[in-house]
A and B are shown apart, each in its own frame.
Chain A
Amino acid sequence: MWDEAAKWLDKFPEAVLTAIDRDGYPVSYRVPTSAYNKSSGELPVPPGPVDVAEGPAGLLCHSHDEKMWNLQMITVVGALDRRDGAWIFRTESFTPPSKMAVLTFVRNMRRTAQKYLDKRGLMRPQVNWSAIKEIQQRTKG
């Protein structure tokens, strides 16, 4: 049932697991993905570094090269369960990423930024490009 999630997780040896601790704060740590079960959508995970609570959780895998063109990002949405003293991540939903993730990134960036400005009746603000160029020049050494 979770073959597609398994296929994508197989590309990443580790994922960042995010769950919620007893105080309601998110807690994130890396977990191996190799034991992901494509039939059940379950992944046994090590205990959290703090007192983690059962409930909403997610797995995030993300990579890109220095030019961002080989952007890969997947999110598996689910829950963290406590069973017989062990912690299990259980998949609830997975949407495969688009093939051109960087284009999706740019499209979403433009769309959400324009919507944010429109909702507040704001014109597109002018960026201080010379300040950016100056910083870039400085870091070139």
Chain B
Amino acid sequence: MPQKAFNIRRNPKVSMLFSEPTGSGIAQPGAVLIQGDATAEDRIVTDLSSDPDLAALMETVSGRQPAGAFWSTRLGRRIGWPYYIRLLIYVTPRRALYWPTRDFTTTPSELDVSEVRRVG
């Protein structure tokens, strides 16, 4: 859905909180908050293999949530046709905070943003 793109074009300041470990396979999960500046492209992407980062993300999502394959079945394509039509959003990290135990009452440590250019 394009609402995220609209929001970013109006105000590029964003944050992303990675705090839900379900499906990650991580036994002792922490949490990470990324704050940054986002851009939302005009280009509409319909080939998820056309961008290496996007293809890698799709692989991760497909592996962790195989039931999502429904959206590429005949019925899924019919009722959820926009699901694989995407606008790419890029976030340049500005600050990254890390909670090693998901205890948000503790003070997180600050990560070097150059270390979070790629997450996978």
Contacts and interface: CB of A to CB of B under 8 A. Distances in A.
Interface of A: 16, 18, 21, 23-31, 46, 49-50, 66-68, 106, 108-110, 112-114, 116, 122, 124-129, 131-136, 138-140
Interface in B52-107: 55, 58-59, 62-63, 65-70, 72, 77, 79-85, 94-95, 97, 99, 102, 104-105, 107
A118 to B, nearest CB: 12
A49 B44 contact: no
Interface in B1-47: 1-3, 13-17, 19, 23, 31, 33, 35-36, 44, 46-47
Contact of A129 (B23, B72, B107): B72
Interface of B: 1-3, 13-17, 19, 23, 31, 33, 35-36, 44, 46-50, 55, 58-59, 62-63, 65-70, 72, 77, 79-85, 94-95, 97, 99, 102, 104-105, 107-108
Looking at chain B's contact residues, is the secondary structure mostly helix, strand, loop, or mixed? Answer: mixed
Looking at chain A's contact residues, is the secondary structure mostly helix, strand, loop, or mixed? Answer: mixed
Contacts, number: 121
A29 B2 contact: no
19 contacts: A16-B19, A23-B13, A25-B36, A25-B95, A26-B35, A29-B17, A46-B105, A49-B33, A49-B104, A67-B70, A106-B79, A113-B2, A116-B2, A128-B47, A128-B48, A128-B49, A129-B72, A132-B84, A135-B58
